[in-house]
Amino acid sequence: MSFEQRLKSLAEKAEKTRAMLETEEATKNALVMPFIAALGYDVFDPSEVIPEFTADVGIKKGEKVDYVIKRGDDIVMLVEAKRVQAELNLSHSSQLFRYFTVTKARIAVLTNGISYRFYSDLEESNKMDEKPFLELDLMNLRESLINEVAKLSKSSFDLDNMLEAASDLKYMREIRATLERQLESPDEELVKFFFQQANPNGRFVASAKEQFSRLVKRTLHGFINDRVGARLRSALASTDDSAHEPPSEVRVEGGEGPREEPTQASVDNDGIVTTEEELEGYRIVKAIVCDVLPAERVTYRDSKSYFAVLVDDNNRRPLCRLRFNRTRKYVGTFDADKNETKHPIESLESIYSLRDALRATAQHWLSLEQDKAASGSQESSDEPKPSPG
C-alpha cells in the first residue's frame, strides 16, 4: 500500500473516530502513531521511534517531547501531539522550540491528530521557525501536499531535498493565504493597480475605490470560476468523446446510484431542463464548500421547480437550492433545522456572498455525522422546509 493510500485510510478513520477522542493519549494512539507508521517507521521499535523522549534543556529538567524519529543514531524528526479538539498555536510549540536547539533534528511536527504542521529552521540556523513550512489536514487532503510529506517517509527520506522544498513550500503557503485574503477583501493597493490598468489617466478617488473594490472582487471570483469550469468541461468532454467509456458520473455512498453530470443544457424524460447556468452555480457551490466536504460528496438533483445541491445525493442533507427558473433568481440556504431562506442574486458571482452560510451548512452535516458516529443516533428524516412565500 502506498503512502497516499495509507494516509487516505487514516483520514477515513479520523473522520469516524475524532468525536470519540477526548484525551491526548487517545489521540496519540488512534491517529498520531498510525500517522508515524504510515510514514513507514516502526512505532514499536525504539531504534526508530522513541516515545516520551527526555533531554534536559537549560533549566528545564525532565521535560519530554512526545516522539522522536531516528535514522541510525541521529534524531531527524520531533513530534509533539495535542488532543484532537485542541486548536494548534505557538503556545503548544514551546517544547519543540527548546528541543530543536539541542538535537540534530531539522524537522519538527506539531499535531492534534487531524492537522499536522511541519517546521524547520529556514530563517535562522538551529532555531525552529515560528511559522510552519507545510500544513497537512487529514480532512482536506491535497495531492500536492501528500507528495511533499511523502519525502519524510522512511523509504524516501532525503533531508536535503525536503529542506530545499521547504523554503518554496513556506512561501507558497503564504502566497496562497494572501490570495485567499485578496479574494475576500482586496487591498487598496491591488484595487488601485487594476484601476490604473483600466484607467491609465484616471484619478483614484473615493468613488473609484468603492466601485473598483467591488469589481475586482467579482472579477477575481469570476475568473477563478471560469478557469475551474473550463477544466471541468474539458475533462468531461474528453470522457464524452470516448465512444467506449460511460459518461462522467458522481458516485455517492448511500445515494441512488450514478448520476451523469452534463456540460450543457439537457432535458430528461420527465421534461426537467438542466441548464448550463444551474451547473455553473452547482460548481461554484462545490468550490465554496470543498475545504469542508470532499468534492465528490457534493451532488445534485434537478426538478421542475428548483435545482437541489445535496450532500451524498441525499434529499435529507441539502446544501442549497438554486431557483433559476424564473426571471428573478434566488439561492435557498438552510439552517440547522432545515428551514430554507431565499436570497435574490444578480449573477452567479453573487453566490460567493453566501459563502459563510453554505460553509456553515456543510459543517453542520459533517458535525452531525461525527455526533452520530459517537452516539449511534439516527438521522432525522424530516424533509427541508421551504421558506414562506
- 208-254 tens-digit pLDDT: 888 888 888 888 877 777 766 666 555 555 555 544 443 333 333 33
Q: Judge if 149 and 27 occupy the same domain.
A: yes
> What letter represents residue 303's amino acid?
S
Q: Which three cell numbers stand for residue 306?
A: 428548483
- Looking at the structure of the chain, the number of domains it has is 3
**In the chain, % of residues over pLDDT 70:** 82
- Residues 6-39: tens digit of each pLDDT: 999 999 999 999 899 999 999 999 999 999 999 9
Among 187, 217, 241, the domain boundary falls at: 241
Look at residue 187 and tell me if it is in a domain. Answer: no
Residues 223 and 103 both lie in one domain: no
Give pLDDT, residue 244.
Answer: 44
Q: CA–CA separation, 305 vs 322, rounded Å?
A: 9
Clarify whether residues 233 and 324 are in a common domain. no
Residue 38, domain member (yes or no): yes
Length of the chain counted residue by residue = 389
Going 122 to 126 to 131 to 135, the CA torsion angle's sign is positive
Residue 326 has pLDDT above 90, yes or no: no
| Residue 381 falls inside a structural domain | no
Helix axes 355-375, 3-17, angle to 10 degrees: 80
What's the mean pLDDT in 333-339?
89
Phi, psi of 314 (to 5 degrees): -115, 115
pLDDT confidence bin for 270, thresholds 50/70/90: low
Q: What integer pLDDT is reported at residue 183 of this predicted model?
A: 82
Does residue 122 belong to any structural domain of this protein? yes
Considering the domain architecture, whether residues 225 and 269 belong to the same structural domain is answered as no
| Range of the structural domain that residue 63 is part of | 3-177
Q: Is the pLDDT of residue 296 over 60?
A: yes
State the CATH number of the domain containing residue 118. 3.90.1570.30
Q: Name the residue among 236, 389, 369, 371 with its Cα closest to residue 314.
A: 369
State residue 258's pLDDT score. 36
If pLDDT is split at 50, 70 and 90, which confidence band does 262 have? Answer: very low
What confidence score (pLDDT) does residue 97 get? 83
Residues 13, 144 within the same domain: yes
Q: At residue 67, does pLDDT exceed 80?
A: yes
Q: Are residues 135 and 26 in the same domain?
A: yes
Of 12, 6, 64, the residue nearest 35 (C-alpha): 6
Give 357 or 95, the one with higher predicted confidence: 357
Average pLDDT on 169-176 reads: 77
Number of Cβ within a 10 Å radius of residue 196: 13
**CA neighbor of 199 nearest in space, from 208, 188, 210:** 208
Same domain as 211, residue 173: no
Domain membership flag for residue 383: no
In terms of domains, do 143 and 216 share one? no
- pLDDT at residue number 81: 92
Give the per-residue pLDDT at 229.
Answer: 63
Model confidence pLDDT, tens digit, residues 77-87: 999 999 998 88
> Is pLDDT larger for residue 177 or for residue 149?
149
End-of-domain residue from the set 208, 241, 274: 241
- Please say which residue of 189, 209, 241 terminates a domain: 241
Q: What percent of the chain stands above pLDDT 90?
A: 30
Domain contains 53: yes
**Structure-model confidence comparison of residues 45 and 151, the more confident one:** 45
Is a pLDDT exceeding 80 seen at residue 379? no
Residue 50 lies in a domain: yes
Does a structural domain hold residue 326? yes
Indicate whether 142 and 218 sit together in one domain.
Answer: no
Phi, psi of 56 (to 5 degrees): -65, 130
With a cut of 50, say whether residue 288 has pLDDT above it: yes
Is the predicted pLDDT of residue 255 greater than 50, yes or no?
A: no
What does the alpha-carbon distance between residue 263 and residue 298 come to, in Å, rounded to a whole number?
A: 17
CA-based nearest residue to 339, from 321, 325, 323 = 321
The verdict on 57 and 157 lying in the same domain is yes
Residue 58 pLDDT: 55
- Between CA 174 and CA 135 the distance in angstroms is 12
72 & 158 share domain: yes
Average pLDDT of the segment spanning 372-378: 65
What burial class does residue 89 get, using C-beta atoms within 10 Å of its C-beta: 0-12 exposed, 13-18 middle, 19+ buried? exposed
148 in the same domain as 277? no
